[in-house]
Amino acid sequence: MVLAALSGALDTALDRTVVPGFSKIGYAVRRRLPSWPADPRPGSLVGKHVVVTGATSGLGTATAHQLSDLGAHVHLVVRNADKAEKVARELTGPSTTWVCDLGDLDSVRACAEAMLADAPPIDAIVHNAGAMPPERTESPQGHELSMSIHVLGPVLLTDLLLPKLEGHDARVVLVTSGGMYAQALPVDDPDYERGDYAPATAYARSKRTQVELLPVLTVRWAAAGIAVYVMHPGWAATPGVTESLPTFDKVMGPILRDADEGADTSTWLVAASPRPRGGGLWMDRRERSTSFFGRNSPTSDERRRMWQWVASATGLTP
């Protein structure tokens, strides 16, 4: 009992100090705590079909490999089929490639239509697709691109695929970022049309939106038996970080997690038995607070208004 309490206190302290907790230091320490959950058993995903978006780079590729190693048939949802072919060749198990640009809602609808026609029942979706445009960029539908790729596309794709997900105790994981802790829900300017555009701010605002939509999406998809999670990978060394945040990458590089460490909790959420409780933010196999000391926590009315904007933008019924 005392050991468990001490482990919990150390884990929480790592969260609050941020740098150790989000870096590879936090991951290494937590893995050695007695509270660390067991790894998924070998072969635990044999016969399962798991969709991974953004599977051709960084955390997406690492997630695809980890799921494949556990026996899953991995469905690679990508913009570039040639890059996906290289990933598919290196997987240990079967895979299928679907071409889709998560930032283009028409592409999302076309992909969903193809998957509804030809894909088998789906057991999980891991939304890894991400981008940090250097300047304000609009999607084909006129939405700020970070918000479209990280929020609108994933919500629409998942909602359209409900017929493939329902009845399987399915799991949906949205991969977020620690930057979201510094941003409030952009309910009054979701498309970042006001003020000076900052790429990292736009990225973090969209990631905050993922987190704050959790209660809404949990209720919306409950009838299909889906558990929804947002997963914070910590600070991981990926091509996206190197390209978009070169100063951060240079300063923090020595303590950044590798892609496998960053992807670990996504894979664990998909494979863990029994299924972890949905509706929360997870990092290092444990549910975490969505804000520190209540900072940037929205009201229920702000969440409702944000969801109404998402539903309107995607054409879904609120």
Half-sphere exposure of 125 (CA within 13 A, CB side): 27
Please tell me the distance from the alpha carbon of residue 126 to that of residue 54, in angstroms, as a whole number: 9
Q: What is the mean pLDDT of each run of 10 residues along the chain (318 residues)?
A: 62 76 94 95 98 96 98 98 97 98 98 98 97 96 98 98 94 96 96 96 97 97 96 88 74 88 98 97 96 85 97 96
State yes or no: is 203 an active-site residue: yes
User: Which position among 27, 181, 192, 203 bears the catalytic label?
Assistant: 203
Alpha helices in 221-299 (DSSP H): 239-244, 246-252, 259-271
Q: Is 22 part of a structural domain of the chain?
A: no
The pTM is what? 0.94
Q: Is 5 part of a structural domain of the chain?
A: no
Q: What is the DSSP letter of 237?
A: -
Domain hosting residue 220, numbered range: 49-314
Amino acid present at 35: S
Amino acid present at 269: L
Residue 304, SS3?
helix
Q: Is 20 part of a structural domain of the chain?
A: no
Alpha helices in 91-213 (DSSP H): 105-118, 145-147, 153-160, 162-165, 199-212
Q: What is the CATH number of the domain that holds 193?
A: 3.40.50.720
Please tell me the distance from the alpha carbon of residue 288 to that of residue 283, in angstroms, as a whole number: 7
**277, two tokens:** 């409780």
Q: Is 32 part of a structural domain of the chain?
A: no
Peptide linkage before 274 cis (omega within 30 of 0): yes
Number of domains in the chain: 1
**201, two tokens:** 């701010």
Q: Is 40 part of a structural domain of the chain?
A: no
Q: Is 130 part of a structural domain of the chain?
A: yes
Q: Is 16 part of a structural domain of the chain?
A: no
Determine contact, residues 12/30, Cβ cutoff 8 Å.
Answer: no
pLDDT tens track for 159-202 = 999 999 998 899 999 999 999 999 999 999 999 999 999 999 99
Q: Is 38 part of a structural domain of the chain?
A: no
